[in-house]
Amino acid sequence: MEKSPLLMLLLFATTIGSAQAAEFNQVQINKSTLTFAYRQMGVPLEGKFGKFTAQLAFDPARINAAQARLEADLASIDTGSSEGDDEVAGKLWFNTKAYPAAQFVSSGVKALGGNRYEALGKLTIKGRSLDVSAPFTFRQEGAVGIFDGAFTLKRLDYAIGEGLWADVGTVANEVQIVFHIVTNAAPPIKK
Amino acid sequence: MSSATRYTATAISLHWLTALFIFATFPLGVYMHELALSPLKLQLINYHKWLGVTILLLTVARLAWRATHTPPPLPETIPPWQQRVAHGLHLLLYALLLVIPLSGWLMSSAKGFPVVYLGLVQLPDLVAKDKALGELLTTVHQTLNFGLLALVGMHIAAALKHHFIEHDATLRRMLPFGKGI
């Protein structure tokens, strides 16, 4: 029996599809980083979260199904000085005893053209949940998918640094969150 | 001939501005160091750094003045050995006024806090972030400052001795008002 052109086309599309439609969902947490940058009286400073977890599912061919969930252990913060680390664990800052983690849960991903995307979702810190959008790029190197992105939050929106620290002339309100997440594609499903 | 017996207006201004800034920066450094972390502490640390950079700039300007001018001579009544000691003390003071701000700048770099002069001009980091080096430089900065405290004490004591006990023109050469010898 002669194969119909339509069937050929379908077969072809499926082959292409399965070659490209790799879902990147195995987060390599040790290769990933979650850092932040802010200004203190004009002085640019950086810090990082030593411990965080990330669950991701991202297939560039099916971004409507993309999902992300990140959780940062706020006690693992490195502000650059031990004095600073102790301070931000306190009630006026993160109050890590009551609110040990910051969470981002995605609600969707938008394609911005090329390798640029935007993750939308809710960021919850210190009991406050706000909508955020984080532009990022996605780079594929074989079976490895690398996400790089950043967004800026206003710390006072989350009551981070209350009371005497609410003065944004000393520690700026804007804090840039920078993420670099390395994933592997899911192993192919054997039939 | 008053121009030869007194420092120039430039040199006098630079000297007293330096004195003013040292008397602000030194106690500020001691005070802020003891404070618990607060916005005030962060502000004071920044002011301290700005003052320190200002002293460094003033000192560079003063060395440029010295390189292009001859200071008015000390009164002839001062024995040569005292003149040599005075000269040595002045050299040490200039050295400390260069090295102390630099040690503070180095310390800031090592601790990972860049210096942004007046909140506007970011100075380059002199060394990479290194916690142990930062702590060592803190000790160096403090020790040099107590050296400066001792030297400034001797400097003031000598100036007052010449003015009030020996009644010579040593201090008047540097006073912002009044006549020369």
| pLDDT tens digits, B46-60 | 999 999 999 999 999
Dump strand ranges (E) for chain A. Answer: 24-27, 33-40, 43-49, 52-57, 67-73, 77-78, 101-113, 116-125, 128-141, 144-154, 171-185
pLDDT digits (tens, 9 = 90+) for B108-140: 999 999 999 999 999 999 999 999 999 999 999
Is residue A15 one of the residues assigned to a domain? no
Residue A39: per-residue pLDDT: 95
| Among the partner residues B39, B111, B116, nearest to A164 by beta-carbon distance | B39
Q: What is the ipTM of this complex?
A: 0.81
B131 inside 8 A of chain A by CB: no
Is residue A191 one of the residues assigned to a domain? no
Residue B104 Cα, gap to closest chain A Cα (Å) = 16
Is residue A7 one of the residues assigned to a domain? no
Range of the domain at A72: 22-185
Number of domains into which chain A is organized: 1
> How does DSSP classify residue A156?
G
pLDDT digits (tens, 9 = 90+) for B63-72: 999 999 999 9
Residue A48 Cα, gap to closest chain B Cα (Å) = 13
Is residue A16 one of the residues assigned to a domain? no
Q: How many CB pairs under 8 A join A and B?
A: 42
Cross-chain Cβ contact A44/B113 below 8 Å: no
Q: Which of B32, B34, B41, B43 to mutate to test the interface with A (most CBs of A within 10 A)?
A: B43
Residue A171 Cα, gap to closest chain B Cα (Å) = 8
A170 inside 8 A of chain B by CB: yes
Cross-chain Cβ contact B46/A41 below 8 Å: yes
Radius of gyration of chain A (CA): 20
All domains in chain B, ordered by first residue? 2-165 (1.20.950)
Is residue A42 one of the residues assigned to a domain? yes
Cross-chain Cβ contact B120/A45 below 8 Å: no
Residue B80 has pLDDT above 90, yes or no: yes
Is residue A17 one of the residues assigned to a domain? no
A15 Cβ contact partners less than 8 Å away, ≥ 6 residues apart: none
| Among the partner residues A42, A45, A87, nearest to B119 by beta-carbon distance | A42
In percent, the amount of chain B with pLDDT more than 70 equals 96
Residues shown for chain B? 181
Packing angle of the helix pair B80-111, B131-160 (nearest 10 deg): 150
- Residues 12-41 of chain B with CB under 8 A from chain A are 37-39
Residue B1: per-residue pLDDT: 41
Is residue A92 one of the residues assigned to a domain? yes
Helix (H) / strand (E) element for B4: namely: helix B2-5
Which region among A123-127, B20-24, B151-155, B169-173 has the lowest average model confidence (pLDDT)?
A: B169-173
- Provide DSSP, A51-73: -EEEEEEB-TT-GGG-EEEEEEE
Cross-chain Cβ contact B120/A42 below 8 Å: yes
Dump strand ranges (E) for B14-153. Answer: 116-117, 121-122
Q: Report chain A residues whose CB lies below 8 A from the CB of B39.
A: 164-165, 167, 170-171
- For residues B80-85, average pLDDT: 94
Is residue A11 one of the residues assigned to a domain? no
Residue A151 maps to which CATH number? 2.40.128.110
**Average pLDDT for runs of 10 along chain A of length 191:** 55 48 90 97 95 95 94 96 93 97 97 96 97 96 95 98 95 98 81 51
Residue B177: per-residue pLDDT: 79
Spatial separation of the C-alpha atoms in residues B42 and B50, rounded to whole Å? 12
Instruction: For CA atoms B88, B90, B96, B98, give the dihedral sign.
Output: negative
Q: Which of A35, A36, A41, A82 to mutate to test the interface with B (most CBs of B within 10 A)?
A: A41
Residue B53: per-residue pLDDT: 98
Question: What is the value of pTM for the model shown?
Answer: 0.85
